């Protein structure tokens, strides 16, 4: 039977290197400073090795896989004065530019946060479930994978999106869907 070698970078390979380095250090301590210092060094290296081994081997098990490693929000939230400016410019002259660069990303950010917080759904990883919550009429306006249906956001759509965002504050259900203002494209 051929002995198996551990691949460089694996946990087993790292443990073998750690043990070998510790053993060599203890031998050097014994040769230079005596048995008493070597025993203290052995205790120190053993404790450090156990801590490192526990960290490496149990690092993924510390939270049982329940912690989500996704960073959902990549930017800071705009303050109220910024929102007034964003909406004013998106609905005014050159609204297409302001909608594409300011308002739509902020609406996507708000929907991402609300859906993740209240319903445990990631808008980017499970867009089908997010679409079901937002509604098929409003989804194209915030769909991160597709361009919006029009270059300029109509005020009625903005009102419907904000009403829907507010309705998403509670867990999904028929009552939440009834509270949302529905937008029907014409």
What is the distance between the alpha carbons of residues 167 and 162, in angstroms, rounded to a whole number? 9
What is the distance between the alpha carbons of residues 100 and 102, in angstroms, rounded to a whole number? 6
Which one, of 186, 183, 185, 72, lies nearest residue 135 by Cα?
A: 183
Q: For residues 151 and 75, which has the higher predicted lDDT (pLDDT)?
A: 151
Provide the pLDDT for residue 175. Answer: 45
Indicate if the pLDDT at residue 70 is higher than 50.
no
Over the range 56-80, which residues count as b (16 or more CB within 10 Å of their CB) and which as e? Answer: eeeeeeeeeeeeeeeeeeeeeeeee
Place of tokens 């705009």: 78
Provide the pLDDT for residue 177. Answer: 47
Provide the pLDDT for residue 168. Answer: 86
**What Å distances lie between residue 7 and 22, 24, 82, 118, CA to CA?**
20, 22, 54, 44
Helices and strands, counts by H and E, the chain:
9, 0
Indicate if the pLDDT at residue 89 is higher than 80.
no
Q: Which long-range contacts (CB under 8 A, 24 or more apart) does 19-26 make?
A: 19/49, 22/46, 22/48, 22/49
DSSP for 105-140 reads: HHHHHHHHHHHHHHH---TTT-HHHHHHHH-TTTHH
Provide the pLDDT for residue 184. Answer: 53
pLDDT in tens, 2-36: 555 677 777 778 778 878 888 898 899 889 998 99
Q: Which two tokens stand for residue 11?
A: 């946990």
Percent above pLDDT 90 for the chain: 15
pLDDT in tens, 99-130: 888 888 888 888 888 888 888 888 888 999 99
């Amino acid at each position: 039977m051929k002995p198996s070698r551990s691949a460089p970078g694996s946990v087993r390979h790292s443990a073998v290197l750690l043990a070998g380095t510790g053993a060599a250090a203890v031998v050097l301590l014994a040769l230079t400073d005596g048995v008493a210092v070597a025993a203290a060094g052995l205790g120190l290296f053993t404790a450090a090795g156990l801590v490192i081994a526990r960290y490496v081997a149990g690092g993924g098990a510390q939270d049982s896989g329940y912690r989500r490693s996704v960073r959902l929000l990549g930017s800071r939230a705009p303050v109220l004065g910024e929102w007034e400016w964003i909406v004013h410019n998106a609905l005014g002259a050159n609204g297409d530019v302001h909608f594409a660069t300011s308002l739509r990303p902020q609406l996507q950010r708000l929907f991402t946060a609300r859906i993740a917080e209240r319903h445990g759904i990631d808008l980017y990883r499970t867009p089908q479930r997010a679409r079901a919550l937002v509604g098929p009429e409003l989804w194209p306006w915030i769909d991160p994978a597709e361009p919006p249906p029009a270059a300029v956001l109509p005020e009625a759509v903005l009102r419907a999106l904000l009403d829907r965002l507010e309705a998403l504050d509670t867990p999904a259900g028929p009552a939440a869907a009834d509270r949302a203002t529905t937008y029907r494209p014409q």
